[in-house]
C-alpha cells in the first residue's frame, strides 16, 4: 500500500494519529450549536467503524487490508473535518443558510413535495385549459 511505513510501530502511530483526528472531529461536532449535520455524523460513524476494523486487521497481520481501511477512515475524517469547518464559518460569520449535501430526510421530503406539487399544477392547468376550451366551443 502506498506511502505507509513498513515498521509496525510507525503503522500503529499512524492509526493512533487518525484516531486522534477523529476524536477531535467528534468533539467539535458535539460542541456545534448552530447545526448538527447528518453527513458529518455519518463521516464520524463510518471512520470509527473502518478504524476499528483496521486495528483488528493489523492485529491479525493483514497489513494491506488494515492500511486500506485506515486510508478510508482518514478520508471520512478529512471529509467530515472540511464539512464542519465550512459550517462553522457559516454558523459564526454567515447568514445560517446551510447547503445540504447528505440524504437529509426533511430536505428530501420537502423536495419530493415540491416536485409533485409542480407536476400537479401543470396537470391542473391543462385540465383548466380543456374546460375553458369546451366552454368556448359550447358558446
Quote the least distance from Cβ 105 to another protein, whole Å. Answer: 8
Q: How many CA atoms lie within 13 A of 36 on its CB side?
A: 7
CA gap 105, 90 in Å, rounded: 22
Q: How far apart are the first and last CA of the chain?
A: 81
Between residue 55 and residue 84, which ones bind another protein under the rule CB under 8 A?
55, 58-59, 68-69, 71-72, 74-75, 78-79, 82-83
Cα–Cα distance, 26 to 95 (Å, whole number): 24
123 binds another protein (CB under 8 A): yes
Site for another protein in 23-52 (CB under 8 A): 23-24, 26-27, 50
**Rounded least distance, CB 91 to another protein, Å:** 9
Helix axes 63-93, 38-59, angle to 10 degrees: 160
Q: In whole angstroms, how close is the CB of 114 to another protein at the nearest point?
A: 6
Q: How far lies 123's CA from each of 59, 106, 131, in Å?
A: 63, 26, 12
- Quickly count helices (H) and strands (E) in the chain: 4, 0
- The minimum distance between CB 36 and another protein, in angstroms, equals 16
Chain positions contacting another protein, by CB under 8 A: 2-3, 8-10, 12-21, 23-24, 26-27, 50, 55, 58-59, 68-69, 71-72, 74-75, 78-79, 82-83, 85-87, 89-90, 93-95, 97-103, 107-108, 111-112, 114-116, 118-120, 122-124, 126-127, 129-131, 133-134, 137
Amino acid at each position: 500500500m502506498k506511502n505507509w511505513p513498513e515498521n509496525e510501530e510507525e503503522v500503529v502511530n499512524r492509526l493512533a494519529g487518525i484516531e486522534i483526528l477523529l476524536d477531535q472531529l467528534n468533539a467539535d461536532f458535539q460542541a456545534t450549536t448552530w447545526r448538527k449535520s447528518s453527513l458529518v455524523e455519518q463521516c464520524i460513524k463510518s471512520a470509527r467503524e473502518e478504524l476499528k476494523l483496521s486495528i483488528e486487521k493489523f492485529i491479525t497481520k493483514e497489513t494491506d487490508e488494515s492500511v486500506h481501511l485506515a486510508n478510508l477512515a482518514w478520508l471520512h475524517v478529512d471529509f467530515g473535518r472540511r464539512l464542519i469547518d465550512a459550517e462553522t464559518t457559516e454558523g459564526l460569520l454567515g447568514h445560517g443558510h446551510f447547503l445540504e449535501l447528505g440524504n437529509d430526510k426533511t430536505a428530501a421530503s420537502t423536495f419530493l413535495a415540491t416536485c409533485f406539487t409542480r407536476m400537479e399544477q401543470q396537470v391542473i392547468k391543462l385540465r383548466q385549459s380543456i374546460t375553458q376550451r369546451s366552454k368556448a366551443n359550447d358558446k
